[in-house]
Amino acid sequence: MLSAPFTVRTPTPRFLATSPGEELWLALRDLYVHGADGLLGGDLFTTTRWAEPSGGLAHFLADVTLSLAVYKIMKAGRRIEVEDGLEGNALHSEEGEELFLLRMRAYLVEYLGISFLDRGGLRLIPDLALRSLKVSRNNIEKTARSLALAETNAEGRLLCYCCGTDMLFRTGGTKSNIPLDHIWPRSLGGVSTESNLLPICDDCNGAKTDRLSWGVFGIVQDYAAATQSQDADLLLSLALRRRAATKLAEEKYVTLKQAFLMLGPAEELTPVDPGEARLFFNLIAHDPGYLSSLW
């Protein structure tokens, strides 16, 4: 295991967020990249604190860590809701919000090690957690649905944004049967408006569930047991596409949805350059002997 502390000091690229859950992820990433030395303890970021400070592997590890951090915070938020009787409308009252923010701050300090020294994070993160929790309750409204389904491509087709399946062809031309996916998962604070919705086929939707990113995709586990996982190839291609879309969204400063649309559906799985550190998730690299040689 490497012992160097994580000390990246470069400006963190951002994409254009439309959901509070995305803002939460980005805010945590700022803390992770710029505040990891000394300010943060606890178990929020510790899994990757020993990672090398640059390269594809570190980028991947940050992604894993941050996605899991969002999960932890959302889970804590739901627990606070239940324990303090804040479910339903109570969370929308002024007193309910106050109580939630207070409890979430305490939780971040006590369990996640976000130190009191970091005043910015302690204001921002509970607020984003509260907003994420609220939007996660919203269903897709009819108008959002019809707006999202009105966005056909140049040939007038609606494609699954993950694999390119022609959705109108699949449903015999009926738009009402086309499933829409929350690009940023609703359970992680993704909004139910057209800015966060794209058509998805059942196969991709079933494999993806509410997984956000590399870490949650469990790619390593899937490939460690490649023969037992029918979804393994699909999951890997979804993960590769999400990474490519995030990178593009950061480069162009657009939303993830715009980036996915610019990217177009993947026609086939493209393994990454075997010479790169990020071949961690190359099909070729899913060999336990190789993986252990990386550490």
* Footprint on this chain of Zn ion (rule: CB under 5 A): 160, 162-163, 165, 201, 204
Q: Which DSSP symbol is given to 155?
A: T
* Cβ 190 to Zn ion shortest distance, Å: 18
28/204 with CB nearer Zn ion:
204
Radius of gyration of the chain (CA): 20
| The pair of three-digit structure tokens given for residue 23, joined into one six-digit string | 């803002």
How far CA 179 is from CA of 134, 167, 168, 204, 265, in Å, comes to: 23, 9, 11, 11, 16
Closer by beta carbon to Zn ion, 159 or else 272: 159
For residue 205, the minimal CB distance to Zn ion (Å) is 7
Shortest Cβ 85–Zn ion spacing (Å): 41
Least Cβ distance, residue 204 to Zn ion (angstroms): 3
With respect to Zn ion, which residue has the nearer C-beta, 30 or 233? 233
Sign of the alpha-carbon dihedral angle for 80, 83, 87, 91? negative
Strand partners, 67: none
Which one, 42 or 265, has the nearer CB to Zn ion? 265
Give me the residue label for tokens 């939007």.
135
Q: What angle do CA 37, 69, 259 make, to 5 degrees?
A: 105
Pairing of strands 180-182, 197-199: antiparallel
Q: To which H or E segment does residue 181 belong?
A: strand 180-182
Shortest reach from residue 149's CB to Zn ion, in Å? 16
Output the smallest distance, CB 67 to Zn ion, in A.
21
173: tokens are: 């031309």
Contact criterion met (CB below 8 Å) for 72 and 44: yes
- Contact present, 62 and 250 (Cβ < 8 Å): no
> Minimal distance in Å, beta carbon 240 to Zn ion?
14
Q: Which is nearer to Zn ion, 57 or 238 (CB)?
A: 238
β-bridge partners, 180: 199
